[in-house]
Amino acid sequence: MIQIQEIHKSFGRQKVIDGLSISIAKGELVAVLGSSGSGKSVLLKHVAGLLKPDRGKILLDGQDIHGLRGKTLASLRNRMGFLFQGGAMFDSMTVFENVAFPLTERTRLPGEEIRVKVMKELEAVGLSGSEEKYPSQLSGGMIKRAAMARALVRDPEIMMIDEPTTGLDPAIRLAVLKLIDESHKRLKFTGIVVTHEIPSALAIVDHVVFLKAGKVYSKTSGADFLSSSDPVIREFLGGDEGPEICPQKQGG
Amino acid sequence: MEFISDIGAFTLTRLYRMGVMGLFLLKSFLYSLSPPIKIRRVIKQIHFIGFQSTLVIILTGSFSGMVLGFQGYYSLSRFGSEAFLGPMVGLSLIKELGPVISALMVTGRAGSAIAAEIGIMRITEQIDALELMGLNAFRYLIVPNLIAALISLPLLTAIFDVCGIAGGYLIGGKLLGVGAGTYFGEMASYVGMTDVLEGLYKSLSFGIIIAWVSCYKGYYTTIFTGFGAEGVSKATTQAVVMASVVILVWDYFMTSALF
Ligand SMILES: Nc1ncnc2c1ncn2[C@@H]1O[C@H](COP(=O)(O)OP(=O)(O)OP(=O)(O)O)[C@@H](O)[C@H]1O
Ligand SMILES: [Mg+2]
């Protein structure tokens, strides 16, 4: 379903992705781990076609995303949900309008149906009652959750999720992970979730991909990753990788 | 050698960006001509670019006209031809000052805001989010500004001209005693349709320039102008400076072509 084949990407002199390959079967959810600055967000943007690799290809359903244009690209992206690390909410619109936007612009659903669907998504992320607020009136965690609702509202077949839980409090973190798990089971989307949420996030994914120096260092199951004896992985799990890593002892 | 290759690299970058800017305009036009047009956004931008500029335009127009009344009267009275104050004020305003000053005022007021708004949408990834929904950023962000500027600029210029002519009358006609009959009568017989059309063409092209330059600068924040808040502030400044320069240079070419 998603095949990332030997991609390379440099920004100026900095090589961020250096011959990275991942292949994800239909319906699989893969966690991508790696220290801060290891190119996880850059990878997701490549899969969505927002960044173009210097070399290599990315196939979605057998189509090279960087070879698509116009209507075909739009219709492929229409099947994709993307959660940006910073939320990327439209700040001139309310939360309701933000979440409804993909539906009002890309579907012919009647207004009432859209309203019902949007309210359902907002309830699922625990934002009922905030629908008339503007993004600038929300806390960082609320923006993240509203953006999650917007990404899920079109029932995507492909999901790119960039750090869904960073900046949330422990209880809500678990709720968001549960939401991802449930919607994954319900929609059967193929997806990548970038996360620092170890170990709780590893329970909801099929594989764990660990990035190091722009390459895939290891691809394992969640349990194998946690019990790995590889010194590099142990060091990564041992924390001390940067301020963005969340404390490890929580949830369960 | 280093020096020569630096010059080469600099020239190539400039040429490349000019190409990008040209394509940006072309794309904006193509999308403006192909439906769907986002009418609600167009109206919102007309409100912002046009309606909210009226007070500024009324003020600057009136005062420009009043200054013209004084200056024109003193220059003309040296040749004993104060009677031509009306045509002088009318022609300067309609052919030149109306379109140019209105455009510069709108650049300062709305052009900078457009560049900042689009630049912020770029750095906060809202433009990427739009594209990931399968939507076209040009249709949502650029085209409404282009159409709104095309509609607003001629109207604002007309308001500017009217206020300026009234201001000139207040000074020349009332205060310095040229008289309404002479002021407006001579104006009517010397200012023709071609002059009005020249002003109209100018204001239309200035509208395009304002929307084009400020949208372009905002859209390419992070890519050409640098990252973060600093990138946006640079984009905004550059938009105002560049649009003003392009307006004045283009005005010269149009004037010499229409002369
Ligand atoms: N548009 C860009 N231009 C230049 N460099 C970039 C750009 N985007 C990312 N980078 C660089 O690429 C590297 C990887 O960035 P990326 O955002 O993918 O990190 P990350 O793995 O997502 O980190 P984090 O966990 O902190 O979010 C960083 O060093 C960053 O400076
Ligand atoms: Mg990231």
Q: What is the ipTM of this complex?
A: 0.86
User: Which pairing describes strands A190-194 and A29-33: parallel, antiparallel, or unpaired?
Assistant: parallel
CB of A76 within 8 A of CB of A152? no
Asked whether residue B239 carries a pLDDT value surpassing 90, the answer given is yes
Asked whether residue A243 carries a pLDDT value surpassing 50, the answer given is no
3-state secondary structure at position A94: coil
Q: Is A42 in the pocket of ligand 1 (CB under 6 A)?
A: yes
Chain A: give the shortest CA distance to residue B223, in Å.
12
Q: Which residues of chain A neighbour B126 with C-beta distances below 8 Å?
A: 88-91
Mean pLDDT over A31-48 rounds to: 91
Asked whether residue B215 carries a pLDDT value surpassing 70, the answer given is yes
Low-confidence winner among A44-53, A69-78, B21-30, B156-165 (lowest mean pLDDT)? A69-78
pLDDT given for residue B67 in this prediction: 94
Taking residue B50's Cβ as centre, other Cβ atoms within 10 Å add up to 22
Mean pLDDT of chain B: 91
pLDDT given for residue B110 in this prediction: 93
Asked whether residue A249 carries a pLDDT value surpassing 50, the answer given is no
Chain A: give the shortest CA distance to residue B132, in Å.
6
Chain B: give the shortest CA distance to residue A250, in Å.
31
Q: Is A244 in the pocket of ligand 1 (CB under 6 A)?
A: yes
Asked whether residue A118 carries a pLDDT value surpassing 70, the answer given is yes
Question: B151: left (phi > 0), else alpha (psi -120 to 50), else beta?
Answer: alpha
Taking residue B20's Cβ as centre, other Cβ atoms within 10 Å add up to 14
Q: Is A242 in the pocket of ligand 1 (CB under 6 A)?
A: no
Q: Is A32 in the pocket of ligand 1 (CB under 6 A)?
A: no
Which of 188-227 (A) contact B at CB < 8 A? none
Asked whether residue A245 carries a pLDDT value surpassing 80, the answer given is no
Mean pLDDT over A176-204 rounds to: 90
A45 touches chain B (CB under 8 A): yes
Q: Is A9 in the pocket of ligand 1 (CB under 6 A)?
A: no
Angle between helices B193-219 and B2-33 (to 10 degrees): 120
Separation of alpha carbons B85 and B131, rounded Å: 56
Ligand 1 centre from A36 Cα, in Å?
8
Mutate one of B132, B139, B140 to test the A interface: name it (highest A CB count within 10 A): B132
Q: Closest-CA residue in chain A for B132?
A: A77
Q: Is A39 in the pocket of ligand 1 (CB under 6 A)?
A: yes
Ligand 2 centre from A244 Cα, in Å?
10
A159 DSSP 8-state letter: E
Taking residue B80's Cβ as centre, other Cβ atoms within 10 Å add up to 7
Ligand minimally distant from the alpha carbon of residue A45: 1
Asked whether residue A134 carries a pLDDT value surpassing 90, the answer given is yes
Mean pLDDT over A211-234 rounds to: 89
Mean pLDDT over A19-34 rounds to: 92
3-state secondary structure at position A220: strand
CB of A154 within 8 A of CB of A114? no
Ligand 2 centre from B140 Cα, in Å?
27
What's the pLDDT band for A241 if we cut at 50, 70, 90? very low
Asked whether residue A252 carries a pLDDT value surpassing 50, the answer given is no
Element (H, E) at A160: strand A158-162
Asked whether residue A28 carries a pLDDT value surpassing 70, the answer given is yes
**Across the interface, which of A74, A77, A88 has its CB nearest the CB of B126?**
A88
Q: Is A195 in the pocket of ligand 1 (CB under 6 A)?
A: no
Task: Look at A84 and B134 and tell me if their CB atoms are within 8 Å.
Answer: no
CB of A192 within 8 A of CB of A160? yes
Separation of alpha carbons B235 and B229, rounded Å: 10
Asked whether residue A239 carries a pLDDT value surpassing 60, the answer given is no
Asked whether residue B186 carries a pLDDT value surpassing 90, the answer given is no
Q: Which residues of chain A neighbour B124 with C-beta distances below 8 Å?
A: 86, 88, 91
**Across the interface, which of A89, A91, A102 has its CB nearest the CB of B133?**
A102
**Across the interface, which of A77, A86, A90 has its CB nearest the CB of B132?**
A77
Taking residue B181's Cβ as centre, other Cβ atoms within 10 Å add up to 10
Ligand 1 centre from A48 Cα, in Å?
16
Minimum CA distance residue for ligand 1 atom 2: A11
What's the pLDDT band for A168 if we cut at 50, 70, 90? confident
Q: Which residue has the higher pLDDT, B3 or A193?
A: A193
Q: Where are the alpha helices (DSSP H) in chain A?
A: 40-47, 70-77, 95-106, 111-124, 140-152, 170-187, 222-226, 231-237
**Across the interface, which of B120, B132, B136 has its CB nearest the CB of A48?**
B132
pLDDT given for residue A139 in this prediction: 86
Which of 141-170 (A) contact B at CB < 8 A? none
Q: Is A214 in the pocket of ligand 1 (CB under 6 A)?
A: no
